[in-house]
């Protein structure tokens, strides 16, 4: 497999764009990435597009109708919350395998105010929790994961609330974030309960968004980068759930990430202590806390202690091992197909000291990771280095 680099990235501000179509949003991000890379659409040899809500609508081809149809192969990807990051991996694999030298990945979604999302399984009775463990909506599923951690390790509601406070403060420095308002611990604790222990501010908002990346081989990097620092994809991992004896009515939200994380660190040849920043899938504050342990940022049962010591907080705010300095999904929003590529963009910007992360730059960042899971199941982890 060949070395692969991210030559250019593009992202629109997450929000709500009722006057735009999905291809228009994706096209905007693609054009930004092309400009950042210093190339034109005619230079791109392969295109992978991630979109979930219109997965039968050939969004990739429709984006090319916006920015230039050159006859290249297009792959349309749908893989739950890991849709965008799976599209990125398809582009990565095509270059790493030597089939193409320049590939583009776009993640895009238009959700508006979609409300509470249902669980995995597409109505399969095996997954239905109604009448067994309560609601099958995503806030409840991840609320259950939080309660389980509380029962097992003595984690408190305040620990989850501190994550929300941290992420909202981070978002004030990110112009791409849908919401940029600070919240206090009291605000989070006293907000409307959605699914215990997740209050309103512990739940990610839906919305619209798009992000794009241009991936190139090492030879093309030398030709096109012009001496600019560019991030290498040190590991690209995609996993699904192995069989366990865990009942599907109480989903296992951890094994998927733990297996992917182990593979990613091995492929990259580094460990958690080498990671300068992490963008992880914080669909809910409870999810972020359990993923601290799943990704090896702290030991099992130590997430509460990690939080209390400033873990996950930007070093500029007195913390360490920063997580979701973009504001995360809790503030940035979670347009499903866009999230995976957006997380990668954030990591790339810090590693290359891009002006788009200037206000929140993590100092001396040499390696970072982007993580997404989708129940049902899919998990991607990408480790990038400079």
Q: Does the bond joining 377 to the residue before it have cis omega, within 30 degrees of 0?
A: yes
- pTM for the model stands at 0.94
CB atoms within 10 A of CB 353: 14
> Active-site residue among 81, 203, 204, 345?
81
Distance (Å) of CA 164 to CA 35, 52, 278, 296:
34, 26, 16, 20
Pairing relationship of beta strands 4-11 and 231-239 according to DSSP bridges: antiparallel
| Choices 3.90.950.20, 3.40.190.10, 3.40.50.2300, 3.40.47.10: CATH for 4-114+205-385 | 3.40.47.10
Closest of 271, 318, 285 to residue 164, by C-alpha: 285
Question: What are the residue ranges spanned by the domains of the chain?
Answer: 4-114+205-385
Contacting residues for 86 by C-beta, under 8 A, at least 6 apart: 50, 77, 79, 238, 340, 378, 380
Per-residue model confidence as pLDDT tens for the chain (386 residues): 999 999 999 999 999 999 999 999 999 999 999 999 999 999 999 999 999 999 999 999 999 999 999 999 999 999 999 999 999 999 999 999 999 999 999 999 999 877 656 555 555 666 665 555 556 678 888 999 999 999 999 999 999 999 999 999 999 999 999 999 999 999 999 999 999 999 999 999 989 999 999 999 999 999 999 989 999 999 999 999 988 877 666 778 899 999 999 999 999 999 999 999 999 999 999 999 999 999 999 999 999 999 999 999 999 999 999 999 999 999 999 999 999 999 999 999 999 999 999 999 999 999 999 999 998 899 999 999 99
Pairing relationship of beta strands 320-322 and 198-199 according to DSSP bridges: unpaired
Predicted local distance difference test score (pLDDT) of residue 139: 85
Q: Decide if 81 is catalytic.
A: yes
Cβ 333 vs Cβ 206: under 8 Å: yes
For helices 157-171 and 285-294, what crossing angle results, to 10°? 100
Predicted local distance difference test score (pLDDT) of residue 140: 86
């Amino acid at each position: 497999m060949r070395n692969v680099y991210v030559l250019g990235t593009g992202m629109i501000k997450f929000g709500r764009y009722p006057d735009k179509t999905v291809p228009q949003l994706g096209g905007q991000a693609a054009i930004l990435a092309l400009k950042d890379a210093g190339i034109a659409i005619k230079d791109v040899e392969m295109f992978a597009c991630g979109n979930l809500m219109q997965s039968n609508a050939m969004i990739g081809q429709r984006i090319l109708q916006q920015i230039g149809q050159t006859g290249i192969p297009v792959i349309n990807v749908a893989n739950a919350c890991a849709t965008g990051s799976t599209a990125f991996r398809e582009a990565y694999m095509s270059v790493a395998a030597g089939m193409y030298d320049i590939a583009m990945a776009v993640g895009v979604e238009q959700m508006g105010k979609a409300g509470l999302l249902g669980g995995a399984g597409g109505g399969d009775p095996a997954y239905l929790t109604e009448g067994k463990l309560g609601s099958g909506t995503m806030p409840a599923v991840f609320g259950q994961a939080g309660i389980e951690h509380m029962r097992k390790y003595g984690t408190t509601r305040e620990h989850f609330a501190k994550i929300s406070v941290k992420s909202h403060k981070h978002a004030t420095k990110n112009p791409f974030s849908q919401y940029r308002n600070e919240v206090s611990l009291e605000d989070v604790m006293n907000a409307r309960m959605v699914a215990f222990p997740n209050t309103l501010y512990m739940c990610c908002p839906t919305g619209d968004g798009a992000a794009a990346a241009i991936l190139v081989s090492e030879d093309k990097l030398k030709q096109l980068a012009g001496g600019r620092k560019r991030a290498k994809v040190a590991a690209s991992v995609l996993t699904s759930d192995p069989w366990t004896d865990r009942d599907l009515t109480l989903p296992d939200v951890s094994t998927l990430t733990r297996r992917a994380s182990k593979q990613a660190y091995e492929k990259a040849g580094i460990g958690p202590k080498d990671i300068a920043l992490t963008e992880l899938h914080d669909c809910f504050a409870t999810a972020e806390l359990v993923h601290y342990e799943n990704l090896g940022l702290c030991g099992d049962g130590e997430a509460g202690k990690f939080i209390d010591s400033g873990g996950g907080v930007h070093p500029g705010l007195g913390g360490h091992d920063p997580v979701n300095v973009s504001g995360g999904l809790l503030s940035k929003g979670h347009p499903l197909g866009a999230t995976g590529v957006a997380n990668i963009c954030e990591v790339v910007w810090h590693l290359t000291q891009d002006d788009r992360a200037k206000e929140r730059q993590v100092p001396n960042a040499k390696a970072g990771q982007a993580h997404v899971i989708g129940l049902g199941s899919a998990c991607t982890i990408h480790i990038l280095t400079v």
